[in-house]
Amino acid sequence: MEELIATAVDLLRRGRVVGMPTDTVYGLAAEPTSREGVARLYEIKGRPADKPIALLVGSVEQAETLVEVSGWAADLGRRHWPGPLTLVLPMRRPLPRWVGDPEKRTVGVRVPDHPLARELLEAAGPLAVTSANPSGEPPALDHRTARRMFGNLVDLYLEGTCPGGTASTVVDATGDRPRILRQGPVEISDS
């Protein structure tokens, strides 16, 4: 497995796109600092250019290098990470303008609860990840389905099945209380 992870990391650093299982749905990943990699990710998926992309991280500590996690948002993170919760938070440091929302200086982050995903994220660092599906279509739940959807457009498919089957809950955590942007497996009240 170490050799496969090393191959994936090498491809990501060269601006390539790698398919990866997560705890929710199968994802397509790119190195977030690679303009070429993220552009390929958007192109492969047919994702609208103005739709911000979130980051998957291997740990809460990795998340804290990118975003400000405090107050009630930190409590949510402690309760639901690793797991199917994406928190949109203020950037701790500038990120490339093609990651997150550069005008608001926010980015969604999530710590997935999947051993292979976490192994890749620990080796590669944070990754820009989106669900493996053409925009508007149901997401793939395993590498075989993703390969049928995208074929050779994706440079490597890490094998695996996604046990959750539903995209993560997305919460805007930049205000005084949670604002649900997408309801998923984690039930959170925004009132």
Give 20-66 pLDDT, tens digit per residue: 999 999 999 999 999 999 999 999 999 888 888 999 999 999 999 99
For residue 143, the domain's CATH number is 3.90.870.10
Q: What is the pLDDT of residues 141-179, one digit of tens each?
A: 999 999 999 999 999 999 999 999 999 999 999 999 999
Q: Is 191 within the bounds of a domain? A: no
Any domain includes 125: yes
> Is residue 74 included in any domain, yes or no?
yes
Evaluate whether residue 159 is within a structural domain: yes
**Residue 172 lies in domain:** 2-182
pLDDT, residue 135, reads 85
> Which residues have a Cβ under 8 Å from the Cβ of 31 and sit 6 or more positions away?
12, 13, 15, 37, 38, 124, 127, 128
**Is position 188 within any domain?**
no
Does residue 67 sit within a domain? Answer: yes
- 51-108: per-residue pLDDT in tens? 889 999 999 999 999 999 989 999 999 999 999 999 999 999 889 988 999 889 999 9
Considering the domain boundaries, does residue 75 fall inside one? yes
pLDDT at 190 over 70: no
- Asked, for residue 187, whether it belongs to a domain, the answer is no
* Residue 56: closest CA among 168, 187, 184, 177: 168
How many domains does one find in the chain?
1
